[in-house]
Amino acid sequence: MVLPSAPAPAMDREFIIKNQIVERYLAGRLPPKGVTDFEKLIRSRPELIEELGLADRVNAGLRLLDAAGVAEPWAEKEKKAWEKPAFSFAAAGLAIAALIGCLVLAVQVSSRNSTITKLQAENHERPVAPSTRKRSIIVRTSRGGPPGAASLTINTGEFADLKVDMSWTKFQMFKVTIERIGQGRVGIFDGLTKDSNGDVRMSLNSGAFGPGDYLVTLEGLNMRREGLPVGWFRFGVSR
């Protein structure tokens, strides 16, 4: 036969003092049922708060927290920087600014591509402007390397008949290369020979060249048609 277990002693003032219920409650060491019974008793007999010195203990604990710079348990914790509304507004502003920047950049890229396509089409379809007058020019070459500036200018509408003086060299045949400064090669004339005056002649239509400076390199060709640079000159084409 199983004997019934003895009922748990009722929680009263003497029981609280004897079992250090207040100390264990404040330290968080009281079991759940003990917490429930203690809080129920305090609600039914609020005068025990003074009799047990609960108010004094709580006030002493709050003073210790204040001295240590620790916020009260019920105080709202300070939010992190990224949790504050100002941070959210700033992040949203940056996102909007970045979106606007991307849209502006996309519009600029689209406009630039459209302009490039239009210019390419115009360049492809542009006819060579006819020359309206012929002009004969005697050209002296630089022998020490490419010159730093143009020595002559071909104007718009001119058909320039260049007579390049090469009487000073033993070479009779030449390869002539024309390059636009800073851009690239625009023409090669191979197998040009000197005339009886020692001039290498070439005719250029200004309408076939864009405005800018051009470098002309003359290479003397030997019997095996191997080239050796011997003369240079620069000319400009006006708008």
Instruction: Flag whether pLDDT at 33 surpasses 60.
Output: yes
Instruction: Give the mean model confidence (pLDDT) for residues 76-87.
Output: 65
Q: Is the pLDDT of residue 72 over 70?
A: no
The stretch 24-48 carries a mean pLDDT of 79
Confidence (pLDDT) at 76 = 59
Residue scoring higher pLDDT (114 or 137): 137
Query: Could you tell me the pLDDT band of residue 219, with boundaries at 50, 70 and 90?
Result: very high
Grade residue 217 by pLDDT with cuts at 50, 70 and 90: very high
- Write down the pLDDT at residue 51: 72
pLDDT tens-digit readout, 132-184: 789 999 999 999 999 999 999 998 888 889 999 999 999 999 999 999 998 88
pLDDT at 89 over 90: no
- The answer on pLDDT for 200 being more than 70 is yes
In terms of C-beta density within 10 A (0-12 exposed, 13-18 middle, 19 or more buried), how is residue 210 classed? middle
Specify the CATH architecture of the domain 133-237: Sandwich (2.60)
Residues in Cβ contact with 161 at an 8 Å cutoff, skipping those fewer than 6 apart: 134, 135, 136, 137, 201, 203
